[in-house]
Copies of this chain bind each other. A is one copy, B any other.
């Protein structure tokens, strides 16, 4: 029953589903008149849209560095609120902080509410146009500040980290360095094994507790078996405390899957609120829940309780909406990118805690054609930005902790 396609593109999109807390830093919101298409000169290319960016000059001294966050797939406020590192280092460098929103996300919509209408409008949503946006905006900003000599360092995490690394590669005359965090720039064109992401997620749980790993691994079959029973979905709905009765197993399946995957992605050593509010070492906490059940408890009840840590750590939810989650702002944007250039095939190996699955490229193409009428260009990112070769050329720091599920997709020197 599992369709791999949505899952393969899933983990990024959740970023924009998170609530957007107000950034902790104080900033001014600005809008930059940006050009729709930097790489053609057709009449339509000259259309102007307003790109949002946040700026904080509290610590800045004229001529000092400019730290730019190259925004990724979501509201820029949210990334600003969750990138405390820049605020931490700004005083030491007397740096200007700038967070630039990615085109087609947040308020930076080239065609307003029609931006996601079709491939005609979405066609302008891609990483190269975004990088050019950043280049044009940074150059203009430096001119307006009369601070052309200020060194620029770009920062980003996840897709934003890819953009930071690629910006340094493509615009070395604008950025003297990049700090790319958890940026899976080797996640293309089979540079790294397709199974490595979910293998790494699984390893995080295995490292926390072998029993925990095995309970999760066995829970999928239990879920399928229960759903196949007469009245199984009703029982499943009760077990999972759903607000409404479930119509199919797949939403429970996705709900669990997301909880384990996202928790591994934000397995920080401190309490945090990036994707959701979570305690320190949330993977370990989840496993404590699973391991703490009395012997004989079903795997399903254990994994539900563990997943509840992710969805309800703040204990505000009385029941869970597993189906028809609102299509929060920005979700479709990443799905489009995954269907065009961000083709990152993912599989689950027998060694993972997820059911083994392959990647059917033909099916993937069909789904992209059906949804957007667009053909993926699976080799384009490695042509445009390179793979291992280009990363060795980057004078960057590409960072990520060893339990980061993207750790296999980061370049090592």
Could you tell me which A residues sit within 8 Å of B by CB distance?
A: 37-43, 45-46, 119-120, 122-126, 128-129, 132, 135-136, 139, 169-174, 340-341, 373-375, 377, 379-380, 383-387, 389-390, 393
Q: B129 touching A39 by the CB < 8 A rule?
A: yes
* A46-B375, A172-B386 known, 17 other contacts, Cβ within 8 Å: A38-B39, A38-B384, A39-B39, A39-B129, A40-B40, A41-B341, A42-B120, A42-B124, A43-B119, A43-B120, A43-B123, A43-B373, A170-B170, A172-B390, A172-B393, A174-B383, A174-B386
B39 A126 Cβ-Cβ under 8 A = yes
Cα separation A124 to B386 with both chains bound (whole Å): 24
B135–A383 CB distance below 8 A? yes
Q: Contacts A135-B384, A139-B383, A383-B139 given; indicate if A123 touches B174 (C-beta within 8 A).
A: no
B390 near A173: Cβ-Cβ < 8 Å:
yes
Q: Are A41 and B135 neighbours in the complex by a CB distance under 8 Å?
A: no
The docked-state distance in angstroms from the alpha carbon of A129 to that of B40 is 8
Assembly CA distance A139 to B382 (angstroms): 10
A124: contacting residue among B40, B43, B124, B373, CB under 8 A: B40
Q: Find out whether the CB atom of A123 lies under 8 angstroms from the CB atom of B172.
A: no
Report whether A132 and B384 are in contact in the complex, using a CB–CB cutoff of 8 Å.
yes
Bound CA–CA A386/B167 (angstroms):
13
A340 touches B41 (CB 8 A): yes
> Chain B residues near A393 (CB, 8 Å)?
172-173
Other-chain contact of A123, B40, B119, B380 (Cβ < 8 Å)? B40
Q: Which 9 A-B pairs have the closest CB atoms?
A: A173-B386, A42-B123, A173-B390, A39-B39, A173-B389, A40-B123, A41-B340, A41-B123, A172-B393
- Residues in B whose Cβ lies below 8 Å from that of A171: 386
A41 and B119 contact, Cβ closer than 8 Å, known pairs A386-B174, A389-B173: yes
Q: How far is it, in angstroms, between the C-alpha of A132 and the C-alpha of B381 when the chains are bound?
A: 11
Taking a contact as CB atoms under 8 Å apart, the answer to whether A126 and B340 are in contact is no
CB-based contact B122/A41 at 8 Å: yes
Nearest CB of B to A114, in Å = 14
Report B-chain residues with C-beta under 8 Å of the C-beta of A46.
375
26 residue pairs A–B, Cβ–Cβ below 8 Å:
A37-B40, A38-B380, A39-B39, A40-B40, A40-B126, A40-B129, A41-B123, A41-B125, A41-B126, A41-B341, A41-B377, A42-B119, A42-B120, A43-B120, A43-B123, A43-B373, A45-B123, A139-B379, A169-B172, A170-B170, A172-B390, A172-B393, A173-B389, A173-B390, A173-B393, A174-B386
Partner of A387, one of B123, B136, B173: B173
B43 and A128 form a contact (CB under 8 A)? no
Q: Which residues of B contact A374 (CB under 8 A)?
A: 41
CA distance A46 to B368 in the complex (A): 15
- Name the B residues within 8 Å of A170 (CB-CB): 170
A384 to B138, CA, bound (A): 12
Q: Which residues of B contact A169 (CB under 8 A)?
A: 172
Assess whether A39 is in contact with B40, with CB atoms less than 8 Å apart: yes
Bound form: Cα–Cα A110–B284 in Å:
58
Return the contact of A383 from the options B37, B122, B136 (Cβ within 8 A): B136
Contacts of A119 in B (CB 8 A): 41-43
Distance A45 CA – B124 CA, assembled complex (angstroms): 10
Best-surrounded residue of A38, A172, A173 (most CB of chain B within 10 A): A173
Residue of B nearest to A373 (CB): B43
Complex: chain B residue closest to A374, CB-CB: B41
CA distance A171 to B383 in the complex (A): 8
Residues of B within 8 A of A45 (CB): 123
- Expressed in whole angstroms, the Cα–Cα distance for A166 and B139 within the complex equals 19
Q: Which residue of B lies closest to A45 (CB)?
A: B123
